[in-house]
A and B are shown apart, each in its own frame.
Chain A
Amino acid sequence: EVQLLESGGGLEQPGGSLRLSCAASGFIFSSYAMSWVRQAPGKGLEWVSIISGSGSSTYYADSVKGRFTISRDNSKNTLYVQMNSLRAEDTAVYYCAKSHTVGATYNYFDYWGQGTLVTVSS
């Protein structure tokens, strides 16, 4: 059974940093690209970033480019996102999502974690 468990969310001040983690199990982690998708309170889904199965390719939404860094440790079956220079508009539930394929392009998401809430406020 595929399981994705996010952690690391919480309250952070504007300009601060947080690192989210997503522990994966139930599938061969290195064989699939992984994404972060966020959802602001009461709003729709916004794709944030994706990393290929090997970790060699990454893409970012324009809204987070230069501030967020996605990474993965295939030996630990764990996905990360380092979020710097946080803004109020980054407040959202952050989901990790498994892609249906290993590459970082042309992806839909077949499994999602339960999400972790990030609140950016002073």
Chain B
Amino acid sequence: DIQMTQSPSSLSASVGDRVTITCRASQGISNSLAWYQQKPGKAPKLLLYAASRLESGVPSRFSGSGSGTDYTLTISSLQPEDFATYYCQQYYSTPPTFGQGTKLEIK
């Protein structure tokens, strides 16, 4: 199975900040990476797929990049509604696997 490692596990930031979350795969995944946002008590929501493609309806302040084994999610200017937990997921091979999550908290 491909292991996905996110960093940091938690992050404190302020409204308006630019933040970056990193996801590293245990082997190359050829941009087969999705990012999800989850708020407490809610289901995950797809933000990006194919490493950098924005899901319909997701604000453009979210962006993704990377290649090979290393990928990033960037939020260009944090909004109050962005404070949540973020997960990466590889779909290069079965089983699909998730990172452990990054909790983004208000500073």
State whether A47 touches B95 (Cβ < 8 A). yes
What class of interface size applies to chain B in its complex with A? 20 to 34
- Residues of chain B within 8 A (CB-CB) of A95 are 43-44
State whether A114 touches B43 (Cβ < 8 A). yes
Chain A's closest residue to B90 (CB) is A108
Most buried by A among B38, B46, B92, B97: B46
Most buried by A among B36, B43, B92, B99: B43
State whether A106 touches B43 (Cβ < 8 A). no
- Residues of chain A within 8 A (CB-CB) of B43 are 95, 112-115
Partner of B44, one of A61, A62, A112: A112
- Residues of chain A within 8 A (CB-CB) of B38 are 45
- Residues of chain A within 8 A (CB-CB) of B98 are 44-47
State whether B95 touches A61 (Cβ < 8 A). yes
Q: A112 CA to B56 CA in the complex, in Å?
A: 15
Q: A95 CA to B43 CA in the complex, in Å?
A: 8
Taking A44-B87, A44-B101 as contacts, is the C-beta distance between A108 and B46 under 8 angstroms? yes
Instruction: Report the minimum CB–CB distance from A63 to chain B (whole Å).
Output: 10
Instruction: Report the minimum CB–CB distance from B103 to chain A (whole Å).
Output: 10
B28 interface residue per 8 A CB criterion: no
Partner of B96, one of A44, A47, A110: A47
Interface hits, A93-122 → B, CB 8 Å = 95, 100, 104-115
Residues of A near any B CB (own CB < 8 A):
35, 37, 44-47, 50, 59, 61-62, 95, 100, 104-115
New contact pairs (9) apart from A44-B87, A44-B101, A100-B49, CB-CB < 8 Å = A47-B96, A47-B98, A61-B95, A104-B94, A108-B34, A108-B46, A108-B91, A109-B44, A112-B44
Q: List 21 A-B contacts (CB under 8 A).
A: A37-B44, A45-B38, A45-B44, A45-B89, A47-B95, A47-B96, A47-B97, A50-B94, A50-B96, A59-B94, A59-B95, A61-B95, A62-B95, A104-B94, A105-B94, A108-B34, A109-B34, A109-B36, A109-B46, A110-B49, A114-B43
